[in-house]
Chain A
Amino acid sequence: GDSVTQMEGPVTLSEEAFLTINCTYTATGYPSLFWYVQYPGEGLQLLLKATKADDKGSNKGFEATYRKETTSFHLEKGSVQVSDSAVYFCALRRAAGNKLTFGGGTRVLVKP
């Protein structure tokens, strides 16, 4: 079945550091890929998405590129802020299906 694997946290960084969260997936066909973020005390929010190979999703300084050859969708941000402290979830949705399959989540803590 479908699965998403992402690096375990917590990831602790200093402000203005570079952030990478690795995400790889297993799925048949050509799924759409997503990053969701959950800020403390808040619900899940879509951060960015990509629907086909080589697409780059971007939002709020975060980027992720859909790599079909490596089945990956790594999340990056060049300079993190304290306000980026949250749990980040990688997810996929198969073209023919509708449910999201999530990775385990990665907690990121940015210190001033």
Chain B
Amino acid sequence: GAGVSQSPSNKVTEKGKDVELRCDPISGHTALYWYRQSLGQGLEFLIYFQGNSAPDKSGLPSDRFSAERTGGSVSTLTIQRTQQEDSAVYLCASSLWSLRQPETQYFGPGTRLLVL
């Protein structure tokens, strides 16, 4: 079946511009996660959505970052007024959700963002 897909695969933008990154999770997966992979910081958690619950935004680095998930499926990560330090690979993952055990997270190929 189809895996997690992300678009665009690459994005080059100028400092100060806004960008939107899209994630399509695996069908039926109610949990969705955004991570960032950068040279200086490694792999960092950004935000987590589960069903209709309030998202866990504890990993967002600043208020320039926001994310939404419409209809419990597709998610968009928005970065406003981009800075050069936002350059990174943004990874999306999805999983089933269980109270009893942590379900495996499946990752998309990522969006490579370069802020000039």
Contacts and interface: CB of A to CB of B under 8 A. Distances in A.
A85 interface: no
Interface residues of B, number: 23
B56 A98 contact: yes
B107 A43 contact: yes
Contacts of A42: 109
Interface string A76-112: 0000000000000101010100111111110000000
Contacts of B65: none
B43 A46 contact: no
B59 A99 contact: yes
B108 interface: yes
A46 B59 CA distance: 22
Interface string B86-116: 0000010100000001101111111000000
A48 to B, nearest CB: 11
A103 to B, nearest CB: 7
B26 to A, nearest CB: 13
Nearest to A99: B45
Given A42-B109, A98-B102, 16 more contacts: A43-B91, A43-B109, A44-B93, A44-B107, A45-B107, A46-B106, A89-B43, A91-B43, A95-B102, A98-B50, A98-B56, A99-B59, A100-B105, A102-B43, A105-B42, A105-B43
Interface of A: 32, 36, 42-46, 49, 51, 89, 91, 93, 95, 98-105
Pick the 5 closest A-B CB pairs, nearest first: A102-B43, A44-B107, A99-B45, A43-B109, A104-B42
